[in-house]
Structure 1
Amino acid sequence: MKMDKRTQEEMNHMEIIIGKIMRVGVATAAVVMLIGYILMVVKHSTGYPGRTFPTTLTAICQGIIQLKPYAIMMGGIFLLILTPALRVATSIYTFFKEHDKLYTIVTTAVLVILLISFFLGHTDH
């Protein structure tokens, strides 16, 4: 399938956006994790008793509000996990704009599986 010049320019633009999403997402996650680590060193505490840490999105958000270092670091990890999911969502848009039905469907299925795993992947030990 041959693309016209405008479509090719749009695709190049989307590739640049996807690259920026990945760089900004990873950098943001690293900064958040570093802030949590610095806070842990300054406070001499993780904010949680023993070897426990927040494992649910609710617990992470509550811990971030309370400035608990482990919660902030887990928030950074969560951002790191969300970065490729955002890239998948952006790819869906790109494939849709290209009128590539197969890749739009497959990529949408991948995003749905990622979202399901985010919400159902937590288990209590």
Structure 2
Amino acid sequence: MKKEINASLEQDRDVEKTVGKLLRAGVILASLVVFIGGLSYVFSFGSLVRPDYHSFKGEESNLITFAGIFKGFFSGEAKGIIQFGVLLLILTPILRIIFSLFAFAIERDKLYVFITLIVLGIILASTFGGLNI
């Protein structure tokens, strides 16, 4: 009985460590992508006259959809690379929830699978609801 409890606790720690590594890797990767995009932007547009920030001008329409972000990233546009890094940062906690869902499913913990599905549904609905994909 004691060995079963210890094995279960050890497996929980392994899942926690893996989730921690996943979050850390996602944040580091997103930061590197944004940093590279920022460097590219500064080298490309750093010598231009400072823009007028008295009136708000939103992001270009081609960088607010997934297709536009991927197109900008793969074509090497600085703003597209930055937007892709932000997208990676947004996707990191979503991937954590998906990983947790699989971990709970492997453990056959139906209650936590159900709760995780609800959390995933809420996050996906709030993140992607209203987007013109």
Q: TM-score, normalised by structure 2?
A: 0.78
Does the 8 Å CA contact 1:33/1:72 hold for their aligned counterparts? yes
Equivalent residue, structure 2, for 1:67:
76
User: Which amino acid in structure 2 is aligned with residue 99 of structure 1?
Assistant: R
Q: Which moved more, 1:80-89 or 1:51-60?
A: 51-60
1:52 paired residue number? 59
Secondary structure at the counterpart of residue 7 of structure 2: helix
Residue identity in the other structure for 1:114: I
Instruction: Tell me the equivalent position of 1:92.
Output: 101
Aligned equivalent of 2:18: 17
RMSD value, Cα? 2.3
Matched, 1:115 2:115: no
Q: Does 1:4 align with 2:5?
A: yes
What residue number does 1:26 align with? 27
Shift in Å at residue 51 of structure 1? 5.3
- Write the distance in 2 (CA, Å) between the matches of 1:51 and 1:103: 40
- Alpha-carbon offset, residue 106 of structure 1: 1.2
The C-alpha deviation readout for 1:26-56, integer Å capped at 9, x for no partner, is: 00000000011000011117xxxx7533101
Runs (5+) with no aligned partner, structure 1: none
Bigger CA radius of gyration: 2
The percent of aligned pairs where both chains have the same amino acid is 35
Of 79, 82, 87, the match for 2:88 = 79
1:77 offset after TM fit, Å? Answer: 0.6
Give the count of matched residue pairs.
119
Which of 103, 111, 118 is residue 112 of structure 2 equivalent to? 103
